[in-house]
Structure formats: C-alpha cells, structure tokens
Structure 1
Amino acid sequence: MTGRTIRTKLVAAVMTTTLAALLVSIAIIIGYDLRSYHRGLINDLSTQAELVGHMTSAALTFDDPRLANENLALLRTRPMVRAAAIYDANGELFASYQAQGEARQMPPQLSAAPSSDGDDLVVRQRISENGDTLGTVYLRAENQLLARTLDYLSIALGVTLLAMGVAYLLVRRMGHVVTAPIVAITEIARDVVATRDYSRRAPRISDDEAGELVDSFNAMLIEIEGRTRELETSSAEIAREVYERSRAQQEVMRLNEQLEQRVDERTLQLALANAELANANEEARSANQAKSAFLSSMSHELRTPLNAILGFAQILTSNTLPSTLEQKKEFANHILKSGRHLLTLINEILDLAKVESGTVTLSMEPVALADTLAETRTMVEPIAAQRGVRVLFPEAPGAVVLADRTRLKQVLLNLLSNAVKYNREAGAVVLACEQVAPNRLRLSVQDTGIGLDADQVASLFQPFNRLGQEGGNQEGTGIGLVVTKRLVELMGGEIGVTSSPGVGSVFWIELATTAPLAAATLEEGAQATGEAQPLPDEGAPHLILYVEDNPANLRLVEEIVRFRGDLRLLSAPDGHVGLSLARAHLPEIILMDLNLPGMSGIEVLRQLRADQATVAIPVIALTANAMPRDIERGQAAGFNRYLTKPIDLDKFSEAINSTLAQLYPPGSGGKQAPAERKAE
C-alpha cells in the first residue's frame, strides 16, 4: 500500500473496517439469536411438559387414559410439537398424541432416550404428587435450528453486500472533500521548497482542520517571528482542548456509572419479581396439594358415619333381613350416634371455613376466668367420668382475661376434651393457671396420655391430623386444634404444646389479662407451716415429703398418691419449709424439685445430708431439668433417683416402690419407726 494515494488508502481502510464490523456484528447477532431460540424452545417445551404433567396427574391417579388423551390433544394448538405421550410410573405407555402428518409411533416402553431424536428435540418431565412419582411426560418437537441458521446466513450475506456497496459509494464521494485540502497543501509546499518563493500562498478551500493548517503554513511564510506567538497560542489552545476533553471524559464516566447503577437496580427489580413469581407458584402448588389432602380426608371422615347411617337404615327397611325389636332399637341408636357425629363434623368444618375466610366475629371483653372454668368443668367432667379420667381444675380468684366469652369456652372445651379423649384409662388431666407476665395469663392442660413425638408435634395444628393418632380409634375430624389455634390468635393470644412419648402432653394458651391472678394457696397450707404432727403408728401409711412450688404439679402428685392407701403426702412450697418439715417429721422419702424459690433443691439436699437427723432419708429429684448434663449433675449431687417432668406414672411408682423396698427388705419385720432407722 506504499505507492497508493491517500484517497485509495482511505477507501481501503474504511471498507476493511466496515466489513470487519459487519462480520463481527452479524456473527454475534446470529449466535445470540440461535442460542436464545434454542434455550427458549427447550424452556417452552419444559413448561409445556410441566403443565401437561399437572393436568394429567389426576388421570394417572384414577387410571383414566381417556382424560389423559384429551389433555394431550390440547397440544394441537402447538404445531411445533409433533408427538407427545404419558408414561405411568412403570414406564408403560398410558396415553399418546401425534400431530397431523407425523408417521413415527411412540415407543410402548419408556427408555433412557437422549435429549434429541434425529432433527427433533425431546423433553421428558416427571409427574409427581406429594413426593410420589406418578409417571413421565414425553414431548417431541421440530428442531428448526439448521433452517434458521441458513436463513440468517442468507440475510447476512445480502446485508453485507448491500452495506459494502453503500459504504464504497459514500467513501468515493466524500474522499475528495477530505483529501483535496491535503493535496493542495502538498503541491504548494513542494513548489516553495523547489523555488524558494515564499510569496506563494496555499488556497483556503475549507473551514476545518485543513483550513487551519493552510493558515498556519501561510503565517509561517509571512512572518517568522510570529511563529513563536502562534506556537504559544496553539499550546494554549491545546491545553484548553485537553481540559475540555478531560471534563467531557469525566462527564462520560459519571453518566456510565449512573447507567450501571440503573441497570443494576433494574436487574435487582427483575430478580425480585422473578423470586416473587417463583414463590407464588410454589404457594399455588402447596395450596393445591393441601386442598387435595383436605378433600381426601374430609371425604373419608364424612363417609364413615354415613356408612353406618345408610347401612343400618337399609337393614331396618329390608324385608329380607328381619330383625327383632331390640335389634331395631340398637340399630336406631347407631344411626342416632352416627348422625350426631356427622353433625359435629359438619359444624367443625363450618367453623374452620368461617375462621379461614375471616367471617368469624369476636366480641372482645373482660371475662371472669372463674365463671368460665366453672361452666367448662360442668361440661367436661361427665365425659371424663365415662373413661375414669380425673379432671383437676384450679382456683382462679379475681383473674380476668380479655377474650370472647363464647370462643374462650370453645377453646378450653376442645383442649380438655382432647386431653380426655387421648388419655389412658383412669388417667388424669390437670388444668393450671399461671401469671407469666404482669398482663399475660397462661392456661395449661396437662394429660397423662401416650404423648407425641417431635414429628407429630411439628404437624399437629394441621387439618385432619387427629393429634398424630392416625391409627387410633378416636372419632373426629382432627381440625379442632386448627380452629382452636386460629381463635386464640384472633383473640390476641398464643398457643403451644410440649409432649413426651409415653408420658403425656401439655397444651397451653396465653391471653391478655386485665386483672392478675391472685396468689394461690395450697390446700395443705396447714402442713406447710412447719408444725410438728404425730408420727404414724406401726403399719400406718408411709410418709412422703414433696417440696414443690408449683401448685399444679403438687396437685397432680397429690392425686397420684391418693390412689395408694399405703402412702401419705406432706408438702412444702420452698426449700426452707421443706427442711423444717423434714427435721420435724422425718419422712421416709423426700421428693425434691430443683428450681425452688430462695433455695435450690441441690442446696436443700446438701443441708439434709449435713444433718444427722436427715442424712439417711432417701431423696428423689422430680424436676423439669431433663438435659443429660442436668441428670449427671443431679446424680453427682447425691440424689437417690432422678425423675423428670412430665411425670411418667410407671417410673414414678417404680421409684417409690423400689426405694421403700430398700428401706424395708423382705423378712425385716415390716416398717420401722424413723427414730429406729436413725439409730441404725
């Protein structure tokens, strides 16, 4: 290119640059579009497969190929889908669809097929319901990637040729304007050098940089001394231009930063919108699953009493199955009982619907707790008496809670009836009141049932759970606790549960109170005064001292001991009174809570062991500190046995019996007086 003119070089440079820019731009556009087209086609087929899977899940569940074929027939609106099929969980062909003109048949058995079939794209999607795989959706669509590529190449070739032609014409046309001043200056300079004629002047034919070059050249010839001033002026002009360019560059950088910030903000907004959409889809799927489980359970619970009603009614109306009058009365009683049970189910479902829809109305007012507990006791005790379950109610003098009177009674009845229903025969239910804060009152219902494990507690407040007793024989929808939880929350309260398998459960609610609970007095207050009482005679019940500051726990142990005629209980509300009673009465066994006011149970044990009068008395820890390190620390402190709350009746009785057996082994002549044991 050395011998070419400036005009030729300019044309070659512009044409080369234009061609390179066109090729790079077209290649990027084609590559990006083909990649986006392929991804979009895969995503569209995956979405279509997922939709078909959701639509045909019911058909697979109920083995309805017709419904599945109808769902697949909807793909006729997607011409690119050439064939589709539904395979069941065993990989067998369940339903299929072929577009018009498609000759290839769907394989009868699903195999590990690749993601493409010749020129076609293949998408497979699992159909799952509640974690179980029901089948697989198989879609085959045309892959038009090659045809699309050829079309793009044809268009790119035409665009390139057209752009190159236009660029060539423009450069040829404009080249003269750019090169003419330079050619003129070159000719004048050559003449000046050759002739030394400084009177020659270069013609000014433009007002751009070429014109300024002509002026500078002419000024140099006119006045040599003015060259210095021109150079200084030129330097100042250059400095000003540099400054302006620097300012312009800074402005461009600032605008770029603002643009990047806006792009980041828009990207974040788009990501948040996508996340919200994904959450909404997940919530919709969860709602559908919950709805299916709810309808399935509700259908089972409603059909159970209906089965008895319709079955016994058919027997009564049948001429081929004669029955006696007593049998008819029995059948009628079954129908009546099932009808009442069905009415209860419907009422509970309606209550749940009202609570969930927000149509339930509450009348919040101060409610005297003593009156509500009295009404509840009247309704619960007959139910408990049928199973031999003892229900122990506390005294709540002056306690007033902020609640809806009717709904509060409904909540208490539901918790107490569940405690009776899921209790063991001849068990106990203890209702306790506790002031947990100046303006918060806790009502707890403790039973001696079989208890719940951690998984059952986690899914407890769900419809049709039935306290985790899926295999039990208790009647009910299992939505009573769901309604109870919603009602407690609507009244501004909280509800919770703690449970131990094989021991029992404690359900509690907390409500706002306008009048705090007065200090409870123990029924055995006279026993807690520390006054000495006569020692039992030979053969009298064994004396046990229980040091406990919680009235509900004390009441529960009193009821347990009451059923044993060989035991007599003495109680103390704190460690100081407990020490006084132990030294005054010398009980045969001491039950000790660890978290006592004023003095801990371990400190009481230390003082008992330091006193010669009480050093030999066995002390059994009965505490809620159930962590392994707590048990190890208690055993190291010197407790004879370590029992944890909630109380396990069998372990409690075994601890008492084994301790008494150690005190009075067989053949020892029976019970000794405390003074004789001390002398030994």
Structure 2
Amino acid sequence: MSAVARWWRPRLLRQKLLAVVLLTTLAALLVATGCVIAYDLRAYQRGLLGDMRTQAELIGHISAAALAFDDRRLAGENLALLRLRPGIQAGAIYTAAGALFASYTAPGQAGAFPRRAAADDASFAGGTLTLSRRIVDNGEPLGTVYLRADDGLLGRAADYLAISAGAMLLAMLIAYLVMRRLHHLVTQPILAIAAIAGEVVATGDYSRRAPRLSDDEVARLVDSFNRMLGEIEARTGALEGSNRALASEAGQRADAQHEVMRLNAELEQRVHERTGQLERANGELALAMAEASRANQAKTAFLSSMSHELRTPLNAILGFAQILGSDKLPTTAEQKREFAGHILKSGRHLLTLINEVLDLAKIESGAVALSLEPVALAEILHECRDMTEPLAGARGVHLLFPERVEGSVEADRTRLKQILLNLLSNAIKYNRAGGAVVLDIAARPDGRLRLAVQDTGHGLTAEQIERLFQPFNRLGQEGGGEEGSGIGLVVTKRLVELMGGAIGVSSSVGVGSLFWIELRAVAAPALAVVAAAAPAPAAAASATLLYVEDNPANLRLVEEIVRFRPGLRLLAAPDGHLGIEMARAHLPDVILMDLNLPCVGGAEALRVLRGDPRTAHIPVIALTANAMPRDVERGLALGFADYLTKPINIDEFGAAVDRALAAAAGRAGAGAAREARP
C-alpha cells in the first residue's frame, strides 16, 4: 500500500519525471485505443444494420407473392432460409393489418414475437438487433418483415479490450525502461543545485556556489542561481547595517503611533455613534415618506377611479332628469317611462358603486352583518339573467344558463345576488364580440354547490390572477373603458368567505376564464320575471353629429337631446376604431368623443382624425366622465374643440354644439370664398 502511495505521490524529481512520462503515454494510448475501438464498433454496427436491412428487403421481396396470395407455407419456407445466417435468432412476416403471418425461430432461441411490428424501425438493445421493414409491391404496402439477431458487439468489444490492454502494458514497460536509462541526464544538474540551496538555507553562508556540470538550459539556471546568491550576499550586508539604524528610529515612531491610534480610536467611536443616529433618523424619515407617498397614491387612484365611475351613471341620471323637467323639451308618456327606466338603471348602478365602497369599508372593519338563510338558486339566477341580458345583448355576448335549476344554498340572498351579478357582468364586459358566458351548477362531494361562470374572453396571465383580488385591480383591463371601481372582486371574495364559502379562478390566455364559488347546499323555492323597453328611432336632418360612445344609456340620452333639434342628424359608433371609420365615410359636421373607449381611446382617435386630411377640419368635442381639472387641461391641450364632462348639462351641451357648428360653417364659407377668387 505504501509503495502504491509513493508511486502516485512521488517526492523525488526522478520519480516525478517517470510518472509524467508514464501517465502521458497511458493517456495517449487510452485515447487512441478508445477512438479505434469506437470507430470499429460503430462501423461494425452500421455494417450489421445494413446487412440486416438487405436481408429483410430480400425476404420481403421473395415473400410478396406469398402475402398477395395468402400462402403461409411459402412465407414460412422463405423465412426458413434464415437458418443459413447463424446470427439471426428469429424472423417473422406480418400482414398489412399488423397480424402475424409466418415466423421462424433459430434452434435454442425464444419464439416470442411482438403483437404488431413497427414499420421501418431498427433498434439495438441488450445485445440484440431488432429490425422491421415494410413489404411494398407496386407502391402498395403488403406487410412487414421482422428480424431479431445477435449484434455481437459485446464479444467484439471484449476482444478489442484484451488486445488493447496487452498493447498498453507493453508500451508502458518500454517507456519505463527508457526513462530509467535517461533520467540522470536531466536530474543530476538540478539535484546539485538543490543540494547547494539546502546548505545555504541551513548555514546562512551565501558565499557557497553551485558547480556547472553541463552546457544547456540547466547550466544557465546554475549561473543565474550563483548570481542570485552573490546579490543576496551583498544586499544582506547592506540590510543589516540599515536595520540597526532603523531600529532606534522605529522605537521612537512606535510611541508616536500608539498615541495616534488612541486618538483615532476615540474619534472613530464618536463617528460611529453619530453615524448610527443619522442612519436611524434617515430610516425613520424614509419610512414616513414612503408611507405618505403610498397614501397619496392610493388616495389619488381612489379619487380618480371613483370620480370617473360615479360620473358615468350620474350623466344619464341628470341628463334624462333635465329632459323630463324641461318645458322646452316636451316628451310623451312612453318616453317619460323610458327615461325614468334609464334613470332608475343608472341610479342602481351608482348605488352599486357606492355600496361596493361601503361594503369594502364595512368588511375591512368587521362591521358587515349577514342574514344567512336558504336561498333558492332558480329564482336568484332568473333575476340575475334578466338583469344581465341587456348588457350581454348590447355587446353581442350569448348567455347560457342551465335549463333546470334545483336546490338552494345557505347564504345572504342580497349578497349572493350581488356576488353573481358581479361575476356575470365581469364575464360579459371582458368577453369578446360574439362570445359566450356559461353559468353552471354542480354538486361537490363535501356537501356544497359550486356555481361557475365561464367566459370566452382574452383570459388572464398568472401575474394578473395573483393581483386579481386586490382593490382597484380591474382584471388587468386598466384603461380599457369598462365600468367598475376595481373593488367588486375584492368585495365578492370577502362576502363569499364570510358566508362560509370559497371562491377561485382558473384562466388560459386567449381561451377565457372561469370563476367559481362554493356554498353549503340546502333547498330551493321559485322564480320571478322582469320586462324591458325598446329605444325610439332618431330623426334625420341637414347637419350631421357623430357621437362615439360605448355606454348605451349615455348614447340614448344624447339621442333624445338631439331629437329636439330638427337641424341635427345623429350618427353613433360604439368604439374609437369604428368612430374613425364612420368619420371618414360620412364626414360629419361635429364629432362628440368619449375618452375611455374600447379598442382605440378618444385621445388616440383624435390624433388619427387630425392626421387625416379628410377629417382634420372636423371639430371634435370631448364628452367624458374624466372631470378632474388636470383632465380638462390635458384634453384641451390635445386639441379638442371643447371639453364637456358628464353628467351632461343640456344648455352647455347645446352651446358647445352650436359653437362647433358655427366654426365648421365659418371654415366652409372661407373655403368657398377662396375657391371663388379669380
């Protein structure tokens, strides 16, 4: 064991040189032998595979007639010819349908065959080559030939390894003998230098010199070594004299340095204390500033969001109310009922927004009170369907509810209706045109009922799902022009949990989303039905007003205002993209533009219209619920002819339209005058 350790860890230069030569020789032999063996085995494997493919094609060729005429005897005789190839263990012929037609097994071999043979396949596994080739006659597949043979790779590799081992041992022995004869030519001069160096270290006598025994690189090493000893001898003498002079000076400096170090330590301690105090003060200040910044951002986001969302329904409420209360705008009884319906609908929406904020505040403070009772799903789903069908119809979305609904759940009826309306309205608003919303009910093994709302919208990413139940997060649809405060899902989640239920979501981008809630099942009562009204047609006139608005109630309000002005004809577009196309096609006199539009926003639509020579002259009036002072300033800076905020003031609305029409007429008159000049 000690001899082996000395071999692998040589201490003498002679042993190291011998080890380097032997290991280099061994590495070269291993690489060369490995490459030769690998190349030969690879070539042998390819040759064997080619031979077996040729054999399979030959068997397939002579057996084509047997397959064509269902002659199993002839096929068996053809396979029996494989006995002339001792390396083939078994063979078989399969029909085109994959059934075994004929087979052959060499003596002493297993007769197992696969149930079906893969077409044109070959594989090496466990020392066996398995090959399948299709039998094709005149382009028509008749069957498959299956062959299994001993690949012989293991025996061939063993022979190569034995030959290689013998060759490497012989080469290593020759290298060892050559190095034993020649090592003194290299090591003797170096050993002489080592001996002199050892004596110098032991005695400190730098006057000793190494003998020059050769005339090569080692001799130059000896000369350099001797010159180094002479230089060290001279410098050692000079250094000793200098050290004595410095010793006394070092003592004086040491005393002064100790005093300086003491003063520095005191100063460092004071600086450290003051730095710690300053860092703590800065940390507290940074935390306070960050908290204040977060509070300001949250307040700004809340005010901006709620200002827009509250003004949108207020626009319809106050606008229709102004029509009903005006003597200048007479209305029929049917119109009054319709306008009252719009006011009621918008008022309910406004109440919903306010209640969402109040609900969230109550839930967060723990002050919300629920009345849990058995709630019939059939009745509440019927109510929800009636309330969401107008929104779905306006957006071209199909609502699919179960035909029969049975059972009930333990819940607060009002809160459950609020939850379902929120999920259904979200599924409609964030759906695609022509999409569908499916509501499904299923019993769970734990005694709960699952109500699932599935849409065919654009879906949500994993990051959006993580932020989904955070306040003011609008399903990743920021800036999309959809109604909502962004807290509906937060309230929904908290209410479901307060009723002892669970809520979840799954989504695929580009496919859609599925929201579900689970509540404890109990029993089910009956249903109720609600009716709806239809809008009246608009009148035609000489001047054309294009209104780009995605809110049906706001559009209806403007239709009624314009109806009392016989000199105006109203066109409507539900989104910015269609509004641009209609402006180019009809060239209206004035354009009313909402800012929060789907597809293309109002500001972007204005930029496109101003960049088109056909529509650049048309005055565009902003009509939006973005009523903050900075919103008004920004809108006028963008180039809007006027900026009206919702709720609409009818007098201001009429004055703005009149000013725009007068400006358009003035530009038209100036253009005509220029054309009339000679």
State if a TM-score over 0.5 links the two structures: no
TM-score by length of 2: 0.33
TM-score (norm 1): 0.33
Task: Tell which has more relative contact order, 1 or 2 (C-alpha 8 A, sep 6+).
Answer: 2
